[in-house]
Amino acid sequence: MKNLLVSLDQLTQFDEIVDVRTPLEFAEDHIPGAINAPVLSNEERVIVGTMYKQVSPFEATRVGAAMVARNIAHHLETTFAGRPRNWRPLTYCWRGGKRSGSMTTWLNLIGWQARQLDGGYKVYRGSVLEALKRLPGQFDYVALTGHTGSGKTRLLQALRKAGAQVLDLEELACHRGSLLGALPDQPQPAQKAFDTALVSVLSRFDVQRPVFVEAESRRIGAITLPQTLLERFQGGACVEVEATHAERITFLLQDYAHLFDNPDSFKHQLDRLIGLHSREQVKHWQHLIDAGNRIGADGMGGRRAAAARAELFGELIERHYDPAYQRSSRQHFSRLGEALHFSFRPNAADSAGQAAALLASVAQAGAKADGNADEKASGKVLTGTPHRAAEAAHVAAPPGVAAGAEVGLPGGAPERPAPVKPQ
């Protein structure tokens, strides 16, 4: 069988990658692009594992072999029935052992040039962890900071459409990152799957261009960000995204409207704030949730419900999110005053135009920093270092679009943490 083993760096030489592990193992994480053709079901793997420990390895192997043979036969009749004669698949299991070995043997007996990944998923997972130590440090980052409801994620999405390199960590984590950030009917991925997706995105970036990222805490819901990435974008330049109080409330009413679909769950999430706020204060917010779902027969219920929802988010902004952001920004941003301040209208239809304005501002600030660096090199100035902000995106912004900028980005990459989203 040794002549059927191939290394991880040969993945691209095959027509298809076949993961023969159980559906649960596959769902937790898998090599990008792989299909799942399990040779043991979730239940069958438990049966074989229990028999291996409680009966004997021989009996477990005998029973497991029969299960594997039936499942391989099923895949030959269904999953692989339409594969051409010259099909070249690569199979893998957990460690490149019996499961993928069995599938590889049968595929070769049929006539396909199948190969088995040496070391299996375990080797691939090791490569992901190694990449997470190496890849994040290759890029310069521009972190979007700002109060809850200022539309940082919406601006990040607009920057992507405008041509900038964007790392949307909340999109990868399927979570908005705040106390109420769980997405409706969309569970978060496993940590391993998140790591794989993150490496996949970073691998496609150009190291000569900066990466825009929303400032996050170490955890986004149940997902933990790699320390190497945190340290890198915490030490990079930042943009303070600003929106009016009214615009922030409107934005939150849109993005978090689904919370009122399940008021009991919404109120339960607010229970977690007891301790940071009095029980009476949290109860008041929970009463506003009930009022926000109350539609009366007098025709005024809709307006009263809308007013209650606006009051709820207004108070959460004023009494919880903003004070928490101020504490965290003072703690983590010693040079926050050097950030580029950008006025954003998160509810406006021209988010693409606003993103172009930001890119123009960043490019202008970067060019200024580069000029200062040249002067410094010639002894004309004492401060300022060049950075790649001027290469924020290969798009041409129209004249005058930088009106939202108030001050320039700091030169270089000062060592300062990114703001932590209040939880």
Q: In whole angstroms, what is the distance from residue 59 CA to residue 210 CA?
A: 57
Q: Which of 37, 39, 72, 93 is catalytic?
A: 93
Give every CB contact of residue 401 below 8 A, 6+ residues apart in sequence.
353, 356, 357, 360
Tokens coding 31: 């090599």
Tokens coding 83: 């594969």
Give SS3 for 175: strand
The answer to whether 36 touches 70, Cβ cutoff 8 Å, is no
Q: In whole angstroms, what is the distance from residue 348 CA to residue 150 CA?
A: 12
DSSP, res 393:
B
**269: how many CB neighbours lie within 10 A of its CB?**
15
Give SS3 for 274: strand
> Of 75, 153, 145, whose CA–CA distance to 114 is shortest?
75
One-letter-per-residue 3-state SS of 90-123: EEECCCCCHHHHHHHHHHHHHCCCCEEECCHHHH
Q: In whole angstroms, what is the distance from residue 90 CA to residue 214 CA?
A: 37
Residue 93 among the catalytic residues: yes
Q: In whole angstroms, what is the distance from residue 387 CA to residue 249 CA?
A: 36
- For 68, phi and psi rounded to 5 degrees? -60, -45
Q: In whole angstroms, what is the distance from residue 164 CA to residue 391 CA?
A: 9
The distance of Cα 156 from the centroid of its chain, to the nearest Å, equals: 12
Give every CB contact of residue 295 below 8 A, 6+ residues apart in sequence.
301, 302, 305
**Which residues are designated catalytic?**
93
